[in-house]
């Protein structure tokens, strides 16, 4: 459960009531009827944006009849594959029993518009009747969550050093900055979390999974949404509670802040397995150490002064990113400057007191558990 203080409790109750009675109308980046015919029409009309199309037979061949599974989730399963030219790929086979193809359209429409070193490349897709698949470049080191959720924090640091964690954090920030400002069409991801950050052979991070993404014009400041979307634990307050503020690119900043806090701490930001109530909500717990000049390095498996400074920098930046008021959060451009600058130049942010909903009173197809 999340921890709240003062007016946060009444505000949360108000948000839950509002969301519970909100009409369940999906917010779609592309409006289309629930039929494969209309998905086909979208693909034809956006041919210049679409990657290569494969048949289902091609997909079976490249995955050796779905021999090696890399992962599984509510969206479906991911399998390792190989193209005829020898290039390894990751094939996401979508679960057609869930939704009406919106996730498929979202990914093809959004990621096809991108070209950035920190955004995963969509190489192709398959749409054949009810069979839908997305073919991505293969990331040999899997997702970021594999390297940060480890009960033995010291052992974890043997896999990813503080320098590597900082480099990954900067890479994710550059990818988000590109989505928010570098495209002709601004792309809001709405599902930034460690599971959706993939790592290549050199641990270069790449943002993936655009199933909940939304497109908007670069001059659009507030995004119209009729339904909360994202993963519990990473959702910005304004996404599930409109009284906090408008939904905009700062909502991704909030999710990013939660991710880099978890990278430093090696645990989920909401951890019901801890023994003390005050440690359940990780930002509250880690804030006390960040504001101290003598932050305990052994707490996070740190060994040197340099590692401790990197951790402190990431914590301070993460805490700024998860401020409840969107206007108090930095842009991704500013985040990069903060991460690449001196920790001594960073001010201590106000203590966070509100988190995304940690239970599921909201029945929404756009909310998932991490």
With a CB cutoff of 8 Å and minimum separation 6, the contacts of 205 are 118, 144, 168, 171, 172, 175, 197, 198, 199
Residue 297 CA, chain-centre distance (Å), reads 27
Structure tokens at 95: 């679960």
With a CB cutoff of 8 Å and minimum separation 6, the contacts of 115 are none
- The answer to whether 326 and 248 have CB atoms below 8 angstroms apart is yes
Cα separation values, 354 from 241, 254, 269, Å: 11, 12, 12
Residue 92 marked in a binding site: yes
Packed helices 305-321 and 282-290: angle between N→C axes, nearest 10 degrees: 130
In what order do the strands lie in the sheet containing 69-73? Answer: 52-54, 122-128, 131-137, 88-94, 76-82, 69-73
Cα(205)–Cα(171) distance, integer angstroms: 6
Q: Is 156 noted as a catalytic residue in this protein?
A: no
Please name which of 210, 226, 207 lies closest in space to residue 104, comparing C-alpha atoms: 210
For 36, the enclosing helix (H) or strand (E) is helix 36-45
Name the active-site residue from 58, 100, 103, 191: 191
Q: Is the C-alpha dihedral spanning 116, 193, 363, 5 positive or negative?
A: negative
Active site residues: 191
Annotated binding site for ATP: 92
Annotated binding site: 92
């Amino acid at each position: 459960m999340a921890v709240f203080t003062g007016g946060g409790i009444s505000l949360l109750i108000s948000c839950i009531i509002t969301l519970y009675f909100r009409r369940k109308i999906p917010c779609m980046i592309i409006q289309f009827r629930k039929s494969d015919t209309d998905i086909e029409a979208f693909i034809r009309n956006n041919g210049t944006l679409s990657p290569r199309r494969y048949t289902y037979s091609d997909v079976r061949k490249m995955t050796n009849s779905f021999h090696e599974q890399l992962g599984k989730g509510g969206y479906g399963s991911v399998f390792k594959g190989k193209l005829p030219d020898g290039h390894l790929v990751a094939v996401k086979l979508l679960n057609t029993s869930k939704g009406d193809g919106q996730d498929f359209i979202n990914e093809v429409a959004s990621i096809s518009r991108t070209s950035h070193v920190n955004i995963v490349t969509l190489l192709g897709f398959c749409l054949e009747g009810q069979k839908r698949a997305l073919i991505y470049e293969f990331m040999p080191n899997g997702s970021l969550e594999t390297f940060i959720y480890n009960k033995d924090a010291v052992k974890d640091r043997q896999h990813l050093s503080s320098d590597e964690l900082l480099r990954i954090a900067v890479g994710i920030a550059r990818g988000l900055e590109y989505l928010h400002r570098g495209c002709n069409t601004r792309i809001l991801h709405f599902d930034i979390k460690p599971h959706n950050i993939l790592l290549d052979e050199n641990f270069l991070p790449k943002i993936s999974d655009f199933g909940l993404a939304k497109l908007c014009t670069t001059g659009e400041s507030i995004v119209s949404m009729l339904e909360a979307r994202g993963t519990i634990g990473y959702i910005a307050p304004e996404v599930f509670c409109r009284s906090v503020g408008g939904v905009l690119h700062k909502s991704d900043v909030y999710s990013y802040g939660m991710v880099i806090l978890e990278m430093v701490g090696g645990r989920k930001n909401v951890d019901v397995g801890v023994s003390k109530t005050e440690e359940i909500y990780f930002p509250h717990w880690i804030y006390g150490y960040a504001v101290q000049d003598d932050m305990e390095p052994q707490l996070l498996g740190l060994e040197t002064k340099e590692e401790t400074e990197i951790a402190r920098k990431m914590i301070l930046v993460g805490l700024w990113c998860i401020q409840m008021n969107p206007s108090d959060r930095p842009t991704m451009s500013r985040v990069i400057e903060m991460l690449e600058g001196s920790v001594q130049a960073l001010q201590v942010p106000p203590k966070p007191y509100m988190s995304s909903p940690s239970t599921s009173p909201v029945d929404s197809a756009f909310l998932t558990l991490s």
